[in-house]
Amino acid sequence: MTWKDNKNPQAGGAEFINETLAKRLVADGHEVILLVAGFQGGLAKEICDGYKIVRVGNRYTVYWLAYRYYQNNLLGWADIVIDEMNTMPFFCKYYVKEKNILLAYQLCREIWFYQMRFPMSLIGFILEPVYLWLLKDRYVITESESTKRDMQRYGFEEKKITVVPIGIVGPTLSETTNSEKFPCPTLLSLGSIRKMKRTLDQIGAFEIAKRHIPNLKLKIAGGIADDYGHKVMRRIGASVYAKDIEYLGYVDSAKRTELMQKSHLILVTSVKEGWGLIVTEANRQGTPAAVYDVDGLRDSVKAGETGMISSANTPQGLADVIVDILSDDEKYDQIRTGALQWSREFTVENCYSNFKQVIQRFQQV
Residue-wise pLDDT tens digits, 176-226: 545 789 999 999 999 989 999 999 999 999 999 999 999 999 999 999 878
| Domain boundaries 173-343, corresponding CATH code | 3.40.50.2000
- Contacts of 56 by beta carbon, 8 Å cutoff, 6+ apart: 35, 36, 37, 38, 44, 62, 65, 66, 68, 69
Please give the average per-residue pLDDT across 323-341, as a whole number: 96
**Superfamily (CATH H level) for 13-167+347-363:** Glycogen Phosphorylase B; (3.40.50.2000)
Taking residues 228-236, what's their average pLDDT? 96
pLDDT band at 319 (very low <50, low <70, confident <90, very high): very high
Domain boundaries, given as residue ranges, for the chain: 13-167+347-363, 173-343
User: What is the phi/psi pair of residue 219, to 5°?
Assistant: -115, 130
Rounded to two decimals, the pTM is 0.88
Residue 77: the pLDDT is 95
Same fold for the pair 13-167+347-363 and 173-343? yes
Give the pLDDT confidence score for residue 126 in this predicted structure.
Answer: 84
Q: One-letter amino acid identity for 317?
A: G
Instruction: Confirm if 319 and 241 have CB atoms less than 8 A apart.
Output: no
Q: Using one digit for the tens of pLDDT, what is the confidence trace for 91-121?
A: 999 999 999 999 998 887 777 666 667 777 6
